C-alpha cells in the first residue's frame, strides 16, 4: 500500500488477542504509519493557451507518425523489390556456375576456384621469373598472356 500523494489517508489496523506476535507487529506498523505526513495541494488546471499548445503538439506528432508510416511502407516495398532482384541474380549466378562446372570436366578442373587458382599460380610464377630480370612491363605483359592462354585452353 502506498502512502502519501495528494490525498488524506486513513488506516485501520485489526488486532487479535490470540496472536501476540502478529498483534504487536500490526500495532508497530500502525504507529509508524501514523507518523507519515502528506503535503496535499490542489491540482492546478492548465489554461487555454497551454491546452492549445499541447493539442498542437499532439496533432503535429500524429501527422509525423502518418508520414513516417508512409515512408516505412515505401522502404518495405523497395526492400521487397531489391530482394526479388537479388534472388533472380542468385538464380542466374547458380545457373552460370553449373554451366561452367559442366564444361570444366574436360580440362580436369573441378570448379571456377580451380581456374582462378591455376591462373594465379601461373601469373605469380611468371612474375617471379621476370622480377629477377627487373622488367616490370614484361611482368604485366607476360601475366596477361598467361591469363589469356590459360582461359583459352
Domain ranges of the chain: 95-153
Q: 99-129, pLDDT tens digit by residue? A: 776 665 555 555 666 667 766 776 666 555 5
CA of residue 10 relative to chain centroid, distance: 52
Rounded CA-CA distance 46/67 in Å is 30
Note whether 4 and 36 are within 8 A (CB).
yes
pLDDT of residue 67: 97
**pTM, 2 dp:** 0.35
Amino acid at each position: 500500500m502506498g502512502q502519501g500523494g495528494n490525498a488524506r489517508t486513513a488506516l485501520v489496523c485489526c488486532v487479535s488477542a490470540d496472536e501476540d506476535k502478529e498483534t504487536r507487529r500490526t500495532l508497530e506498523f500502525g504507529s509508524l504509519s501514523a507518523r507519515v505526513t502528506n503535503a496535499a495541494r490542489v491540482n492546478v488546471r492548465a489554461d487555454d493557451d497551454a491546452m492549445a499548445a499541447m493539442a498542437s503538439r499532439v496533432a503535429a506528432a500524429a501527422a509525423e507518425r502518418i508520414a513516417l508510416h508512409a515512408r516505412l511502407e515505401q522502404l518495405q516495398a523497395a526492400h521487397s523489390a531489391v530482394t526479388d532482384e537479388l534472388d533472380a541474380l542468385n538464380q542466374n549466378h547458380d545457373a552460370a556456375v553449373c554451366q561452367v562446372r559442366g564444361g570444366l570436366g574436360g580440362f580436369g578442373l573441378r570448379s571456377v576456384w580451380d581456374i582462378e587458382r591455376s591462373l594465379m599460380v601461373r601469373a605469380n610464377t611468371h612474375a617471379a621469373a621476370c622480377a629477377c630480370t627487373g622488367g616490370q612491363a614484361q611482368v604485366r605483359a607476360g601475366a596477361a598472356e598467361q591469363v589469356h592462354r590459360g582461359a583459352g585452353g
